[in-house]
Amino acid sequence: MFHKSATKLTGLYLAIVMVISLFFSLVIYQLSTQELDRWIHRPEPVINILPDRDTGLNLRQRLEDSRMQYFNEAKHRVISRLVIINVCILAGGGVLSYYLARRTLNPIEEAHAALERFTGDASHELRTPITAMRSENEVALMNPKLTLAQAKKQLQSNIEELEKLTTLTEGLLRLTSLDPSELPKKAAGLDEMIHEAIAKVEPKARAKHITILAESLIPQKVVVNRAGIVEVLVSLLDNAIKYSPADKTIRITTAVDGKHATINVTDHGMGIKAVDLPHIFERFYRADAARSKQDSEGYGLGLAIAQDIVTLHEGQLTVTSRPERGSTFSLRLPLK
Ligand code: ADP
């Protein structure tokens, strides 16, 4: 599809170049012939000498003949040079037009490929719980001796699958609806946002006997979308809890340099392998260890959403990690 578009665009660019080139060639031709014509027909001082014996023409007539001959030759020379120039422009313009067409289409092609990947991944993730629910329900319906207890269990399982679908669709909607105009910014303290995020994940941490330490936080104000940054912090804390064994500690620290404020979230959990590290901010990416872990439900969208929010703040979200030792996620925000 994009190959065809590139060819069409090349043709269009080339047509524009050639129309301009032919227009100027015509103008140059007109001007040069007019100039020559004026020169040929300029008034001569009276030259009238006796006629030539052989041709019977006098000097004025001979002079006019040779001028006309020169005029015609010059016209042909102008035409042939303009033809050569236009052929060169056609060849060079063709190459340049193709190059420009590729440059124009490349970002569109990449965006299209990313959208296709996203749609494919999203439909795959949506299909999995739907298929599971459907086959379980079919099996239950085919059982003539289905008891009330079994039916209730089936309904419970359906609700769990529906909850997963809700999480997934909410994540998908959040990813596609992130828009700078929806993230109005105001001054907010780093410490306030951190405490708000901790309050949101506290029940999960308590359930796993995980302690979240956030001491000596710098009360630096940053101009951000408070809800957005709290969402990022909740995502980081949620992962830190999810990928840590029970009874561990998660530590939050802050730092401020001349131009940036940084929030670090450090856990002592399973860590991330070096092969997974470059991909964990990609949509739907889940490291194998996380995938196989039963209690860590998720679709690999949390960090992608967090990354998008941070990018809209012109900040950076980075990670350092050591397998079996733990990870540190750093959220860096500009101070102005
Ligand atoms: P998920 O819903 O799978 O947690 P995320 O986008 O939040 O999706 O994270 C992507 C992947 O990054 C996870 O599946 C996990 O493999 C890895 N990951 C994220 N945070 C941590 C962490 N604190 N410790 C270990 N692995 C992590």
Nearest Cα neighbor of 328 from 259, 239, 247, 261 is: 239
In the beta sheet, which residues pair with residue 265?
A: 252, 329
Q: Are 60 and 45 in contact (CB under 8 A)?
A: no
Cα(108) to centroid(ligand 1), Å: 30
The four Cα atoms 229, 160, 203, 272 give a dihedral, to 10 degrees, of: -60
Q: How far is the CA of 326 from the centre of ligand 1 (A)?
A: 12
Tell me the residue type at 112. H
Prediction pTM value = 0.72
Across the strands, what pairs with 223? 187
pLDDT for res 295: 47
pLDDT of 41 reads 76
Tokens 């995502």 sit at which residue?
235
Cα 108 to the chain's mean position, in Å? 9
Q: Give kind and range of the element (H or E) at residue 212.
A: strand 211-213
Nearest to 33 by CA among 64, 83, 78: 78
User: How many residues in the chain?
Assistant: 336
329 Cα nearest atom in ligand 1: 23
How far is the C-alpha of 262 from the C-alpha of 265, rounded, in Å? Answer: 10
Q: Are 150 and 143 in contact (CB under 8 A)?
A: yes
How many CB atoms within 10 Å of residue 112? 13
Residues with Cβ within 6 A of ligand 1?
Answer: 239-240, 243, 267, 269-272, 280, 285-287, 290, 298-304, 327
3-state secondary structure at position 294: coil
Q: What is the pLDDT of residue 30?
A: 94
Measured between alpha carbons, how far is 83 from 77 in angstroms, rounded to an integer?
A: 10
What residue owns the CA closest to ligand 1's atom 25?
271
Report the residue among 243, 244, 252, 288 best suited for mutation to probe ligand 1: largest number of ligand atoms under 8 A from its CB: 243
Taking residue 102's Cβ as centre, other Cβ atoms within 10 Å add up to 14
- CA dist 104 and 96 (Å) reads 12
Cα–Cα distances in Å, from 58 out to 40, 43, 48, 67, 116?
Answer: 17, 17, 7, 14, 85
The residue with tokens 């131009």 is 259
Interatomic CA distance for residues 223 and 217, integer angstroms = 17
Over the chain (336 residues), the average pLDDT of each successive run of 10 is: 88 95 95 87 64 67 81 92 95 95 92 88 88 92 93 93 90 84 89 97 96 93 95 96 95 94 96 94 82 63 94 96 96 92
